Amino acid sequence: MSKPQVLVTMKHISEIAINLLRERFDVKICDSMLATRAEILKEIPGKFAIYCSPLTKIDEELIKTAGPSLKVVATFSVGYDHVDLTALKKYGIRFGNTPDVLTETVAETAVGLLISTTRRFSEATHALKTGGWKNVTPDWMCGRGIRNSVVGILGCGNIGTSIAKKLKTFEISQLLYTSRTEKPAVKALGGKLVNVDELVEQSDFIIISIALTEDTKFIINKERIAKMKSHAVLVNIGRGGLIDQDALIEALQENRIGGAGLDVMTPEPLPLDSPLIKMNNVVLLPHIGSATIETRREMAIIVAKNIIAVLDNSAMPYEVLL
């Protein structure tokens, strides 16, 4: 009797995870480094599961093309704004993601981006490599320190809470955060629950770690950017769609805020002619928030276990209830 089939939409997944799947499934790995829409639609018919990345759009067209054999979608990510949950529910398809395991790694990235941006590391490195390090004055490459500052965390789930714990050790003067409910762990750090407008007005450093939904799209818009302090630094490790990027670019070009550190942007990959790439007051990373060897290995294994659990008709390690 033939095994059920899994479609993997990206290459270089941990061999441990792939071998777990091969024990129970016929595994098809797409030929492209990251499968195109056309490739996925060609390969998806008859598959039991799809093992996807956040760059793989899961919608009703794909589900209908797969046919009734498709029972589970598992994403190599915490966020799932690329997935049509309504369509999954309509066709009775289960869905899993990879929360928790990448919390500390992404929180580390957020802190690193904040330090790199406010202390002008990228700009200073460029000057060093291009002959700009000469005849310097005392104020050359001076940035702002985090100590005694007001830090605002927009969205205080697991990642936001971890960021708060890390930044508290920097002896900040005040910690502000937004959340649907008060977070005891953040309150214990001295954190104050505020609304979004209060946070952007009062914070020296603003870190976005909220999920992208219809309600949070462009949560940082032109009006809220206008409310920020002139030296404010904005860090985003959530999703690019949380910020009105055109409004951000305009504010950065006009030096109306201090800078931005972005691990996520719109679109991804960012076009090489984007104004963001040419700016000295911006630090950009290519969406590597969870990119440690250990974290990516564990994420890959969780995705495989989520799929295997559906085959066994058992509880998924991390299921998003529809």
Q: How far apart are CA 282 and CA 249, in angstroms?
A: 10
Catalytic residue among 82, 126, 231, 287: 287
287 is catalytic: yes
Neighbours of 65 (CB within 10 A): 15
- Which residues sit opposite 191 in a β-bridge? 175
Strands 150-154 and 205-208, bridge-based pairing: parallel
First to last CA, the chain: 32
DSSP letters, 9-64, are -BS---HHHHHHHHTTSEEEE-SSSB--HHHHHHH-TT-SEEEE-TTS-B-HHHHH
Closest CA relative to residue 102, chosen from 44, 48, 163, 42: 163
The DSSP result for 88-143, as a single string, is HHHTT-EEE---STTHHHHHHHHHHHHHHHHTTHHHHHHHHHTT--SS--TTTT--
**Catalytic residue annotation:** 287
